[in-house]
Amino acid sequence: MANFDALMHGFAVALTVHHVTLMVLGVLLGILVGVLPGLGAPNGVTLLLPITFSMDPVSAIILLTSTYWGALFGGSTTSILFNIPGEPSSVATTFDGYPMARDGRATEALTFAFMSAGFGALLGVVVITLLSGFVTGFALRFGPAEYFSVYLLAFCSFIAFGSGPPLKTIVSIALGFSFATVGMDSVSGAMRLTFDFNDMIRGISFLVVVIGLFGIGEMLLTLEEGVSFKSADARIRPRAVLSAIARLPRYWVTMLRGSAVGIWMGITPGGPTAASFMSYGLAKRMSKRGAHFGKGEPEGVIAPETADHAAGTAAMLPMLALGIPGSATAAVMLGGLMIWGLNPGPMLFIERADFVWGMIASMYLGNVIGVILVLATVPLFAAMLSIPFTIIGPVIVTVCIVGAWTVAGAPFDLWLAVVFGLAGWAMKKLDYPIAPLILAMVIGDRAEDAFRQSMIMSHGSITVLWSKPLVGTISTLALVLLASPFIAALRRSLRAREQLPPAQE
Amino acid sequence: MLSRMQLELAAVAVVFVLGSLAVIGALEHEIGWASDGPQAGYFPFRLGIILIVASLVIGAQALASGARGRELVLSRESGRRMIGFFLPLVGYVAIAQVLGLYVATALYLGFVLRAMGRHGWQATAGVALGVPLASWMLFEVWFTVPLLKGPLERWLGLA
């Protein structure tokens, strides 16, 4: 019951006029960011982060998480109405959402999407609520070696479960770590990889990198592929909303399955994008109406949406509890936590219970507010996309460049944003995953510090990673995951060789 | 205009150079393992090696990719659109370094809307002046985050 008391305390923190206003503002900004192409959740949260430096951490996290929920909802809106995913994680929603809208069932599709997304999100928060008490039990057993093994596990699971080819994932991670080492070394005080450039002493800010890779890179991609917004009828009919809500419980199996997939993928760093695709695939295979998928089947909207949002909320648990973000957006928020002077990890649940539970309570409220607001504002945001892209596009570019300046007030960062924009375009084209790079940049320093502290404790012996059952289990699991894709590839090639007909002389 | 293999090789070359830079930079420090664990250059050195090795392997895979490598990742038309977007962006950032963000934003939007988007003078002027004004209200007044300023703001006594 301790969790319930803490949650009630959290609601007391979150339910002030100030905080509810921030939630509404965050959700609206998020929907805007989600609807506009080129601005996604990671980028939107990054642009807002410099503004939160002067806020208290609870208000700041409420604003940022609400923006995240809003962006997830906004991304689904454009997927359904325009067949253009506002977010990578809502690509799977286009498969059945757009056909539904084209057949004049837009209201139905949107209602199914938002309600099931809200359901997935709430289930994700419930799981966080239940598991959080468990995390505090762990807290005191965590030392530097445990932290490092958990970081190791996070990166190895990216290589094992991630979307990109394993070698390219390794390149992304190594690049992220390398960028993180630029600047002053926090252990020895040495200036690393600065090559005597003054602009490099501050290090490379991951926020500027996010703006470049996601913001400008996404714009380049959108532009190069050419965009045209052909909206399906965006009017919302209240009666259709109610009838869709009434029919929603029929799809409880799909919703529960989607939530389970999402929560699992959110806690292990698989991320919302992978979760929504996996959930769609599972639903298609297991549904009786599987053959109708892709032609406007409500289940094909519900499955990816529940998983997407469940993953989005569930990703907050490893971020708070272990300092490992489950998605790129969570990685940006993690960076925010450190800038606000908080130390993510199990101790956070003991030292800053008000922050943790205020945030969890705000996740319940923010998602309910999100569902209502997004339904109410669909026509408004749909109308916004009738402004020609030749106006919206350049304005988004200026928002990104100005955002890059607000990170540190350095003219050099503007150039970095442009260079990383080009890099982001190339990475997308060539299947180099971007999220691991961001993750490595955010936790690179912490991972290195944790490793070096544990080495100092063990007098330079690597066996410290197997010194206790807890840390040993995590380290071993990490190595197994790291090896798994390469073993699988080896086995595949061996089997292929066996099946090959004998060479003809 | 650009085949997959060309882009793969270009990316691999960048990764190779970055890896080499990490190795060179790390060599300015101790890269070994002392009694208190790894030294300052230990991680950058090894990350550099990982990048170099990975870039060589991916490069070799790309060269062996055959038909998939020859497919276009950027058609001539898309390429032209991209360059048309990218060059003004570079100009925008270059001008911002000298004239500040407000003036550069107005010039960039004015140029792109008029020359690339072929919008009328009214729409162009509205957006090109409206966005800097809105940014001024948002950042200087509301959030009190000063943006990069140039000679114009100094002359007007605003900086």
Of A178, A199, A181, give the one whose Cα is nearest residue A190: A181
On the question of pLDDT at A232 being above 70, the answer is: no
Complex ipTM? 0.94
Å from A318 to nearest chain B CA? Answer: 25
pLDDT band at A478 (very low <50, low <70, confident <90, very high): confident
Chain B residues with CB-CB distance to A170 below 8 A: 50, 54
Q: Tens digits of per-residue pLDDT, A291-339?
A: 888 888 999 999 999 999 999 899 888 888 888 877 788 889 998 998 8
A184 three-state secondary structure: strand
Q: Tens digits of per-residue pLDDT, A333-379?
A: 998 998 898 888 878 888 888 899 999 999 999 999 999 999 888 88
**Crossing angle, helix B121-135 and helix B101-111, to 10 degrees?**
160
Name every residue whose Cβ is closer than 8 Å to that of residue A242 and which is 6 or more positions away in sequence.
none
Residue type (1 letter), A252: W
Mean pLDDT score, A257-273 = 84
Mean pLDDT score, A201-220 = 88
Inter-chain residue contact A402 with B48, CB threshold 8 Å? no
How many CB atoms sit inside 10 A of residue A187's CB?
17
Each domain of chain B, given as residue ranges in start order, spans 2-74, 77-155
Inter-chain residue contact B81 with A409, CB threshold 8 Å? no
Distance CA A154, CA A322 (A): 10
Distance CA A20, CA A119 (A): 20
Interface test with B, best of A402, A427, A437, A448 (most B CBs within 10 A): A402
User: A43 and A215 in contact (C-beta within 8 Å)?
Assistant: yes
Inter-chain residue contact A223 with B85, CB threshold 8 Å? yes
Q: Tens digits of per-residue pLDDT, A48-80?
A: 998 888 888 999 999 999 999 999 898 888 888
Chain B residues with CB-CB distance to A422 below 8 A: 86
Mean pLDDT for chain A? 85
Residue A470 tokens read as 């807890």
Please tell me the predicted confidence (pLDDT) of residue A306. Answer: 95
Q: Tens digits of per-residue pLDDT, A99-117?
A: 888 888 888 899 999 999 9
Of A457, A121, A155, give the one whose Cα is nearest residue A259: A121
Residue A264 tokens read as 């699992």
Of A146, A137, A139, give the one whose Cα is nearest residue A473: A146
Q: What is the signed CA dihedral for B81, B87, B89, B92, rounded to 10 degrees?
A: -150
